Structure 1
Amino acid sequence: MEEKKLTGKIARERIRLMEAPRPDPNLIEGFKELGHASGILSDIMDELGIAGVLPASLYRPTIADACIVGPALTVRNIMQREHAYETARAHVNKMAEFEAHNLAHRGDVLVIAGVSGVSNIGGISAQTGKRQGEAGAIVSGGIRDVDHSRSVGYPVWSTEITPVTGKWRIETVEINGDIELHGVRVSPGDIVFADETGICFIPQARAAEVLELARKKYEAEQRKCALIDRGTPVSDLPGNA
């Protein structure tokens, strides 16, 4: 039986913005230069009163040592009303993250406010995202085919891993709109920074301010580490850890 997907017209109706606001590429490069710095960014965001940090103990990365930075490309999924066995028999697929892949710019990070207990992105979708130049994905909800996404070098941070498909169970209701992940609001074009420690969602309007302070903290920590390596007594080290 042929799979019945959302038609192009219906899927496109779910796109809030065809072109999300783009952050300055120099900002993206600046955050990349910090390396694995989610801890530094979390400290700076605390000081500035910006809520936007989620732990890797909740959003686990599929690729060890992965670190990505890029603008958010957002997707919002909900559970279909119809029973999964009925939609499976009829081959009705209402997922539309491939429309998000169609909109992707090189370096974008797919951010999915998804459904728990089922897969919101699988291996073929991950491979498509990689082909489109995406840096990776953040998923609130399940994912599957981890070996596939890992083999193509497409890191995913997710709250769950499951073999249960979402294509008979999920409906994509919005692309490139504001979403929320565990109390953190994410808008299209916000800067996503993810490493093995956690994820920082940096509002585009505050990104330059965050980066400036993060650079200063990073440089201070590098100087402190150099002093530790040289054997400087703990009592003589500047500041607190």
Structure 2
Amino acid sequence: MTETTRKHFDWVEVHPMPAPVPEGIVARFLALDDLSATVADALDALGIDSIVGASTLGPTLPGERIVGRAVTLRNVPARMGPYRAVTEGNWLMAEIHGIELAEAGDVLVVSGLPGVSNMGGIVAACARRGNLAGAVVDGAVRDVAQSRRRGFPIWTRDISPATGKWRGTSVEINATIAVAGVTVEPGDLVVADETGVCFVPIEAAGDVIARCEAIDAKEAEMFTDIADGLPMADVVRRLYGDLD
């Protein structure tokens, strides 16, 4: 980051970048057959409440699945109305700076504003160029045709044409944020597909993926047995155990 770039965003408190994800972890998560649901089961077993369904944060590109390190951004409402902000050129959003700081494979996670865009087409294009895995936005986004055309996946609460640049202020990058009621730390592992989003605390990632792989193996056997005609009584027994 150049000094000139930093001066463009001198109102934003920028915390250090989180540590890299341990080698091989992302690939192991991406190898799971049923990504977010399997991770959700493992999180439940560990008592970690960090699951958000797609009915709350929906994908702009159904069928996409991502796993990556969280780079966080927190936005708050602007102190002046949009007309005055436009007139005075008071633009204080900094999602593009979060993209600039992020590395390939990262996920921009935004605690944003409802009803107005926290990310548009230009930022999505920059994110795609930087090979970010995707974005999760607790708030609205816009220009979805642009992000879809570039194959950049976003999970978002809402879609709106209203820009946030005259209505919001970015205040922190790489700080602890809240997303749909879930606490997200910079460096957490973001797991998302068309079923929903899971935030995996990075210190628990090894335990979570080990549990996921065991679940995946068991379910693969069950799907094979069902396709081969396993009687329903045996399916129920496999799922719920013997009642004797």
TM-score > 0.5, shorter chain as reference = yes
Could you tell me which residue of structure 1 aligns to residue 95 of structure 2?
Answer: 97
Match of 2:239 in 1: 239
CA displacement, residues 8-64 of structure 1 (integer Å, 9 cap, x when unaligned): 326256243232122213111110111442111111111110011000011110001
Aligned partners of 1:226 and 1:16: how far apart in 2?
50
- After superposition, the CA RMSD in angstroms is 1.6
Amino acid in the other structure paired with 1:111: V
> Unmatched 5+ residue regions in structure 2?
none
Name the counterpart of 2:62: 64
Runs of 5+ consecutive residues of structure 1 not aligned to the other structure = 1-5
Give the letter for the 2:36 counterpart: S
Deviations 1:70-127 (A, max 9, x none): 0001000001001111001222210111111111111000100000111000011001
Pick which of 96-105 and 15-24 moved more: 15-24
CA distance in 2, matches of 1:98, 1:129: 8
Distance in 2 (alpha carbons) for counterparts of 1:13 and 1:206: 34
* Cα shift at 1:7: 7.0
SS at match of 1:150: helix
Specify the SS of the correspondent of 2:191: strand
Partner of 2:174: 176
Partner of 1:3: none
Structure 2 CA distance, aligned partners of 1:12 and 1:25?
34
Q: C-alpha distance in 2, partners of 1:16/1:92?
A: 20
Matched residue, 1:38: 36
Query: TM-score under structure 1 normalisation?
Result: 0.94
> In structure 1, what is the equivalent of residue 144 of structure 2?
146
CA distance in 2, matches of 1:11, 1:175: 11
Cα distance in structure 2, aligned partners of 1:189 and 1:239: 35
* Residue 110 (structure 1) aligned with residue 108 (structure 2): yes
